[in-house]
């Protein structure tokens, strides 16, 4: 009766939660402020601009190019297009911006400021502008670019992410489960359960946004899908493996499942707790997009855990042994592991313990050297993967044709009583070409400041820093510097600060959980150290791949922290699954024999789980954003390194080298039935 009751409860939850899950897209926000640090000047500028007359500024840059040189009639077509755009956006035709020709005579360009209403509908504004410019002479290329167009192209990419990712991830997981189980029915059960977990987690996240009003971005929404599918499938693989074992010893499936839950449940619970605790460490981050990922990801892991420890077991019990057809486990059959390749690997590692951990660690250390000189400042125009949107092509054309006007305006806000002093300080800052006062309200005076140097260059960054220092001396907190380049600077600097705070916090939390689970100090230190080395090796290798193979212009500044979180928390997962079984076997057989037995029993399923998790994250590489591609590749590579090398060879070798001392200071560390030798 209990399995049927559990099934009925979950059917009710899914029916009730489906509508909430469908509303998640409606609360997803991808405004620039949603990806910026909460305390940064540039964030405060965005927030303050919304209260200025006309609201937040928008800007379209319209550029035309004829590579062989402009022809008669081209300027008239540009003027006609400008007039039509002015009419569309309600701009006074008597105050149209100047149309500027490039020095080489191949391009024309003008700026088109937008009001609050147009900015709020930036996708429509950009699309309408592009449609209106279609009426032009043959051979004259037209581009709509600038901050508003870049935002619209980014929104278009994000709009397609969730549906594409959900379908691609489901297909990948289904294929891997079919290959793993080689059963026409069994693969459907975990896939169904994971689908329920995905719907549940999306509904929970939507409810959380309504209760606590935290930000959910398309990045965190995409990572939620990957986490639920990856973690949920891993839990399913581990539980099915233990359930299959227990079916050889119990006649009734329900008894076998209860035994499987007692055996695998603590490890799965500890795994989920580790990931949830690691994710919640992100709440300490200042960057909005990073801190919001914490509760979003935690909700996904908790949903996966609940489904995989309740609904999934109920489905398996109701379907009985026949769900494993054609490889049905029979009561009384021996579970043979001694002859498996994992048993042979365990024997090989036992004979060459020091070599087995020393050589891989040297290799990973060498790969870690690839992190030297890593560039974590991905330019704004290089954040799209595979296809280049019109806004980026236009911006790069402007940089090429107008080298002396490639500066990107900064926004300075000043309190009205400080505006004269602030303007003078701005104009006196080295690296500033010109500055002019724009809109004014009771609280702020807006100034448009044009730097001499190109956007996001080292020289422009130095100008922004000098400008902020000068204004701090003149007006203290009554002057703010924002704009696209200032936003990128604030994002990069805050990511560095967040890494220095959050990474050690994650390590401390993971160590504490491992210590409680394994009742030891040495084992957690060893496990965390191996995972950190694995992360550094993966980061170094991927940095070389991003730079020399994929040709990315840099690593997005949030990638190292997100990668660290997933690789430490998820990497420790596999060590938890292995080491809890090692401890269980060590009580009866000693640490060395216990390690070999645990590896022979868990090696196959943990490797399958690692491959599935790596594949689900690798799906991110199919998306058209460099940030998500980099996260997907980094985590996939790191998980494979951790699963195939660190957990399979390094951890068993270190465990056998240390022997019972690895359990210090627990009572198990004082056993003497296995000795530690130094054979190489």
DSSP conformational letter for 436: E
Residue 26 DSSP SS3: helix
Across residues 338-358, what is the average pLDDT? 85
Asked if pLDDT for residue 567 goes beyond 80, the answer is: yes
Q: pLDDT grade, residue 55 (50/70/90)?
A: low
Q: pLDDT grade, residue 53 (50/70/90)?
A: low
Strand partners, 64: 108, 142
Angstrom distance (rounded) from CA 677 to CA 680: 9
* CA Rg value for the chain: 29
Query: 61: part of which helix (H) or strand (E)?
Result: strand 58-65
More confident residue, 442 or 311: 311
Cα 426 to its chain centre, rounded Å, is 38
Q: pLDDT grade, residue 669 (50/70/90)?
A: confident
Residue 447: CA count within 13 A, CB half-sphere: 27
Q: Is the peptide bond before 665 cis (omega within 30 degrees of 0)?
A: yes
Asked if pLDDT for residue 144 goes beyond 60, the answer is: yes
Closest CA relative to residue 277, chosen from 110, 510, 578, 38: 510
Which phi and psi angles does 453 have, rounded to 5°?
Answer: -95, 165
Angstrom distance (rounded) from CA 370 to CA 389: 31
Angstrom distance (rounded) from CA 268 to CA 15: 27
pLDDT in tens, 365-406: 999 998 887 777 788 888 888 778 888 899 889 888 887 666
Angstrom distance (rounded) from CA 38 to CA 56: 18
pLDDT in tens, 78-98: 988 888 888 887 777 777 788
pLDDT in tens, 426-447: 999 998 888 888 878 888 888 8
Contacts of 104 (CB under 8 A, 6+ apart): 69, 401
- Complete edge-to-edge strand list for the sheet that includes strand 445-451: 432-440, 445-451, 410-414, 479-482
Asked if pLDDT for residue 56 goes beyond 90, the answer is: no
Which phi and psi angles does 412 have, rounded to 5°?
Answer: -115, 130
Asked if pLDDT for residue 339 goes beyond 50, the answer is: no
Q: pLDDT grade, residue 128 (50/70/90)?
A: confident
Strands (E), 11-57: none
Angstrom distance (rounded) from CA 639 to CA 662: 24
SS (H, E, C) 584-638: HHHHHHCHHHHHHHHHHHHHHHHHHHHHHHHHHHHHHHHCCEHHHHHHHHHHHHH
Mean residue pLDDT across the chain = 85
pLDDT in tens, 229-270: 888 988 998 899 889 888 988 889 999 999 999 988 888 888
Asked if pLDDT for residue 677 goes beyond 50, the answer is: no
Q: pLDDT grade, residue 679 (50/70/90)?
A: very low
Across residues 186-205, what is the average pLDDT? 91
pLDDT in tens, 9-35: 888 888 877 788 878 877 787 777 777
SS (H, E, C) 230-270: HHHHHHHHHHHHHHHHHHCCCCCHHHHHHHHHHHHHHHHHH
What's the sign of the alpha-carbon dihedral 430, 436, 440, 446? Answer: negative
Asked if pLDDT for residue 671 goes beyond 90, the answer is: no
Could you give all domains of the chain from N- to C-terminal order, each with its CATH number? 1-30+160-335 (1.20.1640.10), 44-156 (3.30.70), 336-390+491-680 (1.20.1640.10), 409-482 (3.30.70.120)
Angstrom distance (rounded) from CA 106 to CA 30: 36
pLDDT at 672: 57
């Amino acid at each position: 009766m209990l399995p049927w009751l559990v099934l009925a409860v979950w059917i009710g939850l899914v029916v009730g939660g489906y509508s909430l899950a469908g509303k998640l897209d409606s609360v997803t926000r991808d405004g620039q402020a949603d990806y910026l640090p909460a305390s940064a000047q540039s964030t405060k500028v965005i927030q303050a601009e919304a209260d200025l007359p006309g609201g937040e500024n928008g800007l379209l840059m319209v550029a035309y190019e004829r590579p062989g040189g402009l022809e008669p009639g081209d300027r008239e077509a540009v003027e006609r297009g400008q007039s039509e755009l002015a009419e569309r956006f309600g701009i006074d035709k008597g105050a149209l911006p100047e149309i500027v020709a490039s020095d080489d005579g191949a391009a024309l360009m003008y700026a088109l400021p937008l009001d609050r209403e147009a900015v709020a509908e930036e996708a429509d504004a950009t699309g309408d502008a592009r449609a209106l410019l279609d009426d032009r002479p043959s051979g004259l290329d037209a581009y709509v670019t600038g901050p508003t167009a870049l935002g619209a192209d980014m929104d278009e990419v994000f709009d397609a992410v969730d549906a594409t990712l959900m379908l691609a991830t489901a297909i990948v997981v289904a294929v891997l489960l079919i290959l793993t189980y080689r059963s026409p029915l069994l693969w459907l059960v975990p896939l169904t359960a994971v689908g329920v977990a995905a719907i549940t987690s999306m509904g929970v996240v939507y409810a959380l946004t309504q209760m606590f009003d935290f930000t959910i971005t398309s990045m965190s929404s995409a990572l939620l899908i990957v986490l639920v599918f990856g973690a949920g499938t891993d839990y399913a693989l581990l539980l099915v493996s233990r359930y299959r074992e227990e079916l050889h010893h119990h006649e009734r499936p329900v008894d076998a499942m209860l035994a499987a839950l007692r055996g695998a449940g603590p490890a799965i619970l500890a795994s989920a707790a580790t990931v949830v605790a690691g994710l919640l460490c992100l709440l300490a981050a200042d960057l909005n997009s990073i801190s919001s990922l914490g509760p979003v990801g935690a909700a996904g892991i908790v949903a996966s855990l609940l489904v995989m420890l309740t609904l999934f077991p109920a489905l398996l019990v109701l379907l009985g042994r026949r769900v494993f057809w054609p490889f049905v486990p029979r009561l009384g059959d021996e579970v043979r592991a001694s002859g498996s390749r994992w048993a042979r690997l365990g024997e090989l590692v036992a004979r060459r313990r020091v070599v087995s951990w020393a050589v891989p660690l040297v290799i990973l250390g060498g790969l870690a050297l690839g992190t030297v000189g890593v560039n974590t400042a991905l330019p704004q125009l290089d954040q799209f993967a595979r296809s280049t949107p019109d806004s980026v092509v236009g911006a790069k054309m402007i940089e090429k044709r107008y080298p002396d006007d490639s500066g990107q305006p900064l926004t300075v806000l000043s309190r009205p009583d400080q505006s004269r002093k602030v303007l003078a300080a701005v104009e006196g800052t080295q690296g500033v070409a010109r500055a002019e006062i724009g809109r004014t309200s009771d609280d702020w005076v807006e100034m448009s400041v044009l730097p001499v140097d190109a956007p996001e260059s080292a020289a422009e960054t130095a100008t922004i820093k000098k400008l902020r220092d000068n204004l701090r001396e003149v007006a203290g907190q009554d002057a703010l510097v924002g704009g696209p380049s200032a936003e990128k600077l604030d994002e990069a600097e805050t990511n560095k600060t967040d890494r220095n705070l959050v990474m050690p916090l994650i390590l401390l939390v993971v160590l504490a959980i491992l210590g409680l689970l394994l009742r030891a100090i040495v084992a957690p230190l060893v496990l965390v150290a191996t995972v950190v080395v694995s992360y550094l090796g993966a980061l170094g290798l991927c940095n070389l791949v991003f730079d020399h193979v994929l040709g990315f212009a840099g690593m997005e500044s949030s990638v190292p922290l997100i990668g660290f979180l997933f690789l430490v928390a998820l990497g420790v997962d596999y060590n938890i699954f292995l080491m809890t079984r090692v401890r269980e076997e060590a009580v009866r057989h000693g640490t060395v024999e216990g390690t070999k037995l645990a590896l022979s029993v868990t090696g196959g399923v943990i490797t399958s789980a690692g491959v599935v998790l790596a594949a689900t994250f690798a799906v991110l590489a199919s998306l058209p954003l460099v940030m998500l591609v980099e996260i997907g590749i980094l985590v996939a590579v790191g998980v494979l390194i951790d699963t195939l090398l660190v957990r399979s060879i390094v951890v068993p070798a270190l465990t056998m080298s240390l022997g019972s001392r690895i359990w210090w200071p627990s009572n198990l560390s004082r056993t003497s039935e296995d000795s530690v030798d130094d054979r190489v």
